[in-house]
């Protein structure tokens, strides 16, 4: 580890604004977290500045990029953001605050235009911010960032991962997917806006990608750090696992539209288990597109969630659990203690799999008719014509069609086979004749 050097100094708000306008101030280095301050937090900060109260130091990392000086903000991002918003330097974010400063007789609502009208803007821009300017190896600077942000609104595990592994392709892909499903997660109530800002949805998507790659549920606390540290899921493996995760999320979205009405599956742990199970169902070639079977699965899941809630209420009232409630009690236990451990996740998956798997049918392991089947069908046909357009077929150009589509459970057997020309077979797709 190289030594980190630092220099304590002050910079006026005017200097900070100049750095921002000149593109020298980087509020969003790759390791930085999302903003979590509320409007009330920002107003209190501006009020403190107007009253010339002292503020904690801002940490900045001084580096060179293409011959230009750049200052990455390690700590103090939200303070600087609030200042820039108040002054209108960040468009669309202006706000005011109630303050009593200078020669005011009583508190008033103050915004940047008010200061300019009163010609008191220098009272604000001349305020000196305590700054700590640090230099050193990039990895050491990231470790410093994590340590600095371990107090106050401490970094979540996922924010710490972003800080350490922000160059990791796996994390970048997970972040892109998570952003696509932000509204969906919010609409279900799986995550609040604050949890989204703390990157909890990215953590969920990371777990699902790893589950798709491993073909099983994973223990989040240990597995994600290992994957990101070694950048072990990359290239085609990453593409395949990411595609499986997107497909599973889309399936859950279509199959379980009433999910938000069940308290149970709005929890992070339950939703992960359901999505990971759908990933496994798809890998095992279960057909998840039949509307009737999907409705039955929805109804069963809703009934199951209600029973789990019923057992929860019985526990609260310290009432005995009947033998017919044991399955729901077992599931409930997995949601109450060490919910993200491998053992608890595996138990939840097994219970849900036992509940849902028998509803769906599997695709035939063989999709293509064999040469032997093709010859038998050709030789048994009384009229060698296309079943759809009735064009006469030749041995060189005929195809064998699944009467009941393979994608919907049709078997690759002679009883489910028909002669068809290539154009008609292609245009038919997954429709049944």
Q: For 277-300, what is each residue's pLDDT tens digit?
A: 999 999 988 888 888 888 999 888
Please report whether residue 206 resides in a domain: yes
Give percent of the chain with pLDDT exceeding 90.
31
- 397-411 per-position pLDDT tens digit: 888 888 888 777 788
Please report whether residue 433 resides in a domain: no
Do residue 334 and residue 272 come from a single domain? yes
- Residue 10, Ramachandran bin (φ over 0: left; ψ between -120 and 50: alpha; else beta): beta
User: What's the pTM?
Assistant: 0.59
Confidence (pLDDT) at 1: 46
- DSSP annotation string for 56-69: PPEEEEEEEETTEE
* CB 36, CB 78: distance < 8 Å: yes
Give, in order, the Cα–Cα distances in Å from 282 to each of 32, 271, 285, 338, 427: 36, 17, 5, 28, 25
Instruction: Give the Cα-Cα-Cα angle 275, 280, 281 (nearest 5 degrees).
Output: 95
Query: For residues 150 and 317, which has the higher predicted lDDT (pLDDT)?
Result: 317
Can you give 312-333 as a three-state secondary structure string? HHHHHCCCCCCHHHHHHHHHHH
For residue 143, count CB atoms less than 10 angstroms from its CB and return exposed for 0-12, middle for 13-18, buried for 19 or more: middle
Structural domain range at position 31: 5-154
Q: Residue 202 has which token pair?
A: 């990215």
Please report whether residue 294 resides in a domain: yes
Query: For residues 35 and 107, which has the higher predicted lDDT (pLDDT)?
Result: 107
How confident is the model over 300-308, as a mean pLDDT? 88
- What are residue 407's phi and psi, to 5 degrees? -65, -15
For residue 13, count CB atoms less than 10 angstroms from its CB and return exposed for 0-12, middle for 13-18, buried for 19 or more: buried
Please report whether residue 366 resides in a domain: no
- DSSP annotation string for 75-95: E-HHHHHHHHHHHTSSTT---
Please report whether residue 188 resides in a domain: yes
Confidence (pLDDT) at 381: 86
d(CA 411, CA 175): 40
Do residue 253 and residue 354 come from a single domain? yes
- Picking from 154, 187, 203, the residue at the C-terminal end of a domain is 154
Burial 402-424 (b: 16+ CB within 10 A, else e): beebbeebbebeeebbbbbbeeb
Confidence (pLDDT) at 143: 66
Q: What is the CATH number of the domain that holds 100?
A: 3.90.1530.10
Span of 17-26, 138-147, 235-244, 293-302 with lowest mean pLDDT? 138-147
- 40-98 per-position pLDDT tens digit: 999 999 999 999 999 988 888 888 888 888 888 888 888 999 999 999 998 778 999 99
Do residue 180 and residue 145 come from a single domain? no
Do residue 324 and residue 424 come from a single domain? no
Q: What contacts 327, CB < 8 A, 6 or more positions away?
A: 351
- 314-326 per-position pLDDT tens digit: 877 766 667 778 8
Please report whether residue 376 resides in a domain: yes
Confidence (pLDDT) at 352: 92
Confidence (pLDDT) at 112: 95
- 95-112 per-position pLDDT tens digit: 999 998 877 888 999 999
Please report whether residue 335 resides in a domain: yes
Structurally, the chain folds into a number of domains equal to 3
In this model, does residue 4 exceed pLDDT 90? no
């Amino acid at each position: 580890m190289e030594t980190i050097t630092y220099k304590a100094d002050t910079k006026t708000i005017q200097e900070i604004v100049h750095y921002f306008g000149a593109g020298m101030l980087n509020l969003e280095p790759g390791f930085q977290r999302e903003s979590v301050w509320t409007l009330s937090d920002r107003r209190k900060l501006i009020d403190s500045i107007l009253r010339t109260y002292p503020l904690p130091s801002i940490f900045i990392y001084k580096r060179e990029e293409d011959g230009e000086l750049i200052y990455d903000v390690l700590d103090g991002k939200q303070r600087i953001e609030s200042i820039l918003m108040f002054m209108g330097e960040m468009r669309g974010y202006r706000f005011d605050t109630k303050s009593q400063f200078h020669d005011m007789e009583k508190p008033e609502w103050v915004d940047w235009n008010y200061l300019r009208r009163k010609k008191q803007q220098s009272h604000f821009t001349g305020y000196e911010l305590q700054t700590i300017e640090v230099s050193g190896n990039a990895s050491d600077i990231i470790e410093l960032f994590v340590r600095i942000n371990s107090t106050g609104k401490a970094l979540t595990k996922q924010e710490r991962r972003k800080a350490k592994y922000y160059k990791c392709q796996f994390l970048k892909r997970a972040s892109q997917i998570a952003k696509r499903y932000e509204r969906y997660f919010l609409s279900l109530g799986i995550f609040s806006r604050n949890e989204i800002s703390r990157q909890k949805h990215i953590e969920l998507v990371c777990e699902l990608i790893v589950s798709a790659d491993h073909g099983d549920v994973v223990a989040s606390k240990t597995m994600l750090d290992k994957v990101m540290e070694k950048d072990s899921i990359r290239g085609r493996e990453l593409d395949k696992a990411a595609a499986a995760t997107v497909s599973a999320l889309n399936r859950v979205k279509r199959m379980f539209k009433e999910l938000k009405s069940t308290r149970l599956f709005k929890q992070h742990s339950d939703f992960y288990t359901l999505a990971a199970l759908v990933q496994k169902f798809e890998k095992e070639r279960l057909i998840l597109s039949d509307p009737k079977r999907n409705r039955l699965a929805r109804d069963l899941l809703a009934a199951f969630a209600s029973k789990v809630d019923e057992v929860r209420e019985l526990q609260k009232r310290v009432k005995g659990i009947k033998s017919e409630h044991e399955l729901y009690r077992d599931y409930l236990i997995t949601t109450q203690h060490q919910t993200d451990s491998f053992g608890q996740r595996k138990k939840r998956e097994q219970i849900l799999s036992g509940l849902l798997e028998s509803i769906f049918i599997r695709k035939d392991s063989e999709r293509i008719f064999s040469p032997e089947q093709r010859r038998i069908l050709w030789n048994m046909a009384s009229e060698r014509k296309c079943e759809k357009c009735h064009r006469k077929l030749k041995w060189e150009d005929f195809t064998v069609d699944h009467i009941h589509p393979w994608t919907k459970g049709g078997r690759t057997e002679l009883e489910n086979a028909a002669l068809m020309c290539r154009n008609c077979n292609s245009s038919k797709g997954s429709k049944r004749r």
